[in-house]
Amino acid sequence: MALPKDLVAASATPLILSILHNGDSYGYDIIQQVREFSGGELEWADGMLYPILHRLEKKQFIESYWEKAESGRKRKYYRISKGGLEELVQQRNNWEKLSQILQNLKGKHHV
Amino acid sequence: MFNLETAVDEWCQGIGNSQGESSELKEELKDHLYCEIEALLEEGLSDQQAFSLATKKLGQPDALLDEYSKNRNIFSKMCNSTEASLSEYSQQRNHVMSYKQSSKRIIGQSLLWAAAMLSSALLLGESERYSFYLLLLIAISTTSIAMDPGHKEVLKIERRYICRLLGIGKNRGTP
């Protein structure tokens, strides 16, 4: 089952930051990783990633640099910045908090 | 004969030129396209099939740019707003049309006509027939927008758009 749009949008930043926390990466590879780690549950539209990456770069959560890939093509890589790391910790806390709240509420219906 | 490199280059050329970061963006999207195409070629697709599927997945250059230009300038804001009116309209009418194209066209036309009126006003400022020409131009522009093939609703939408801009007649039912 595909996740609804608003959740996909809300989770994009922590997912990208998590991936870059594991190692520098580039657009196409980030999409592949998302697909792989979500077991196919989360399918990103290719075009949606780049505007988000550039926004994160503007916010200085990530930095970019160009390098020649094995294919000989120029490739834009992204790495996480210090600010991005702080943001990641914050976002993880938020998601955990929310999931905890949902857990706490489970099965507590009023009689 | 289909040439993959030419096709990719041409596709990338389709991404607007006016933006500062666009050449970097082009390079980045080009690399993405090639990654996707290579993966598809490995699955046994032909050059042409791989190219068309990869570009389809990435989206149209125009749509991509729209994504980028959101909140960037007044023009795109106007486009977005017209787009909203258009999509609202077509939802009500259960009617499909390409809002992005239409909204750009409407605003482009309006700007062109506004420019034409302004320049003629400047040129004819001294002339007695000034108001006659201006009225004529307004009439021509209105008809040209109204006659726009396939977009006869445009005028209604423009009215709605202007109402929205002025903040009046909000959420009024369909006429």
Residue range B110-161, pLDDT digits in tens: 788 888 878 877 777 666 666 777 777 777 777 776 666 555 566 666 667 6
Nearest to A46 among B25, B34, B57 (CB): B57
Amino acid making up residue B69: S
0.90 surpassed by complex ipTM: no
Domains along chain A with CATH numbers: 7-109 (1.10.10.10)
Cβ count near A12 (within 10 Å): 19
User: Does any CB of chain B come closer than 8 Å to the CB of residue A28?
Assistant: yes
Mean pLDDT of A13-26: 96
8 A C-beta contact, residue B68 and residue B28: no
Looking at per-residue pLDDT, the higher value among B81 and B175 belongs to B81
Alpha-carbon distance of A9 to A48, in angstroms, equals 9
Q: What is the pTM of this model?
A: 0.59
> Which residue of chain B comes nearest to A78, CA vs CA?
B28
B11 C-beta neighbours (distance < 10 Å), count: 19
- Tell me if A73 and B24 make a contact (CB, 8 A cut-off): no
Of B155 and B46, which is predicted with more confidence?
B46
How far CA B103 is from CA of A21, B63, B83, in Å, comes to: 41, 13, 6
CB contact under 8 A, A76 and B57: no
